[in-house]
Amino acid sequence: MGGARVTSPGRLARLALVSVDGLIVVDKPGGMTSHDVVARIRRLARTRRVGHGGTLDPMATGVLVIGVGRATRLLTYVIGAGKGYAATIRLGQSTVTDDAEGEVVSAASAGEVTDAAVHAGLAAMTGEIDQVPSAVSAIKIDGQRAYKRVRDGETVALAARRVTVSRLEPLAVRRESVDGMAVLDVDVLVDCSSGTYIRALARDLGAGLGVGGHLTALRRTAVGGFTLAEALTLPALEERAPDVVNLSVEAAARRFFPERRANVDEAKVLSHGGPLEPAGIEGPYAVFGPEGDLIAIVSERGGRARAEIVLAPA
């Protein structure tokens, strides 16, 4: 008949959008893609505006920085930050993906490889190196991901790129037998620049020792200043939903950038994309308004302080 339709309070709660800007440091579980985690956070935070700051392979676990709302614009800086990992490299087997998810394509006994040779091989890959990324990577070739081309049966050759491995520290060398063949499992800690492939380090260590190698375990321990100590698991985030942001956009900016305070007039100019007088701060840096709200990320060039991104609420 013409009566009003009644919506239950529970349904209203589910439909409500939560507009909170900030970062979430997630402890990604194995078996999920980074996109899977983003999709889960979209549901928990009740917003579509969610992104991640650096892909982790499905087999990998650990720190995945998620941006919500305006903080998604900070993710470009997160992606470029240094990374830390704990990893296990198996020597004696090579796989098509350079990790444990791929088919073994060659095997050779690693029984004669000494601990000293392993340590020397790791040391040779420390510092600035030219690394050829794993063929099964997300790098695009003529608009198509390299991993897609490999899975379609193509042979992919990627160009080397300069990366920095500031730490490649062996923790343990364990001698095992797989299908009657001697292998070595090497536990390592890695600190490296953005763009470094840990799978490629495993591949290259094995190639240098003449027995092949691949990655069997990977846990990201840090992204920039974000570590596992502050990371939340997905079950923990489920429990606190929709209040899942644990670092406001202002707090996140302070973690990454030097800080500059703007007066009322400067804040107004900058929020509309206009330049400020330089302050002599090596950029990029974060500019905050008189009330402590984040206005923009700025760098100084041409005698002016100009916004790289404006973050003031519309």
Cα 224 from chain centre = 9
DSSP state of 110: -
Distance CA 199, CA 95 (A): 10
Residue 47 neighbours by CB distance under 10 Å: 17
Distance, CA of 110 to CA of 28 (rounded, Å): 32
DSSP string covering 126-190, please? Answer: SEEEEEPPPSSSS-EETTEEHHHHHHTT----PPPEEEEEEEEEEEEEEEEEETTEEEEEEEEEE
Active site residue 57: yes
Angle, alpha carbons 266-72-298 (nearest 5°): 30
Q: How would you classify the pairing of strands 259-261 and 285-288? A: parallel
CB 71 within 8 A of CB 170: no
Kindly state the DSSP code that residue 105 receives in the 8-state scheme: E
Given the residues 57, 98, 99, 185, select the one marked as catalytic: 57
Residue 57, burial from CB neighbour count under 10 angstroms (0-12, 13-18, 19+) = buried
CA distance 285 to 257: 5
CA-to-CA distance for 233 and 23, rounded, in angstroms?
A: 14
CA 54 distance to own-chain centroid: 3
Residue (of 74, 99, 90, 76) closest to 21 by Cα position: 74
> For the chain, what's the residue count?
314
Q: Is 268 helix (H, G, I), strand (E, B) or coil?
A: helix
Positions marked catalytic: 57
